[in-house]
Amino acid sequence: MKQSPARWSAEVTRKSNALDLEEGVFEKRDPKAIAASLKRSALASRRRKAEPFRSAMSMLTFYINRAGRNLPEERRRILDRAKDALRAEFGRK
């Protein structure tokens, strides 16, 4: 059976060819914990095509953009703060 086109982004998040994500990473409530998990995944990945920071930030941005209008405002705030925490994890401004 063919999968619904509305679900392709969930499949990408689960089976990314660049990063093996920790289960439930985007459900965490602590932005620093999200950033730390993404950093671990990016550093451990041997399949990524970009540097670890870009891979981790791309996955986070992808999730935010794909969840888009369905994200509650509080969840979006947490994920936006996770971007800042991810920059700090990698020593970027």
Separation in Å, CA 93 to CA 9, 33, 40, 48, 61: 29, 18, 19, 23, 17
Rg (CA), the chain: 13
First-to-last C-alpha distance (Å) of the chain = 46
pLDDT by residue, tens only, the chain of 93 residues? 555 555 655 665 555 555 788 889 999 999 999 999 999 999 998 888 889 999 999 999 999 988 877 889 999 999 999 999 999 999 987
pTM value is 0.80
Distance of alpha carbon 49 from alpha carbon 87, whole angstroms: 19
Nearest of 22, 27, 29, 14 to residue 44 by alpha carbon: 22
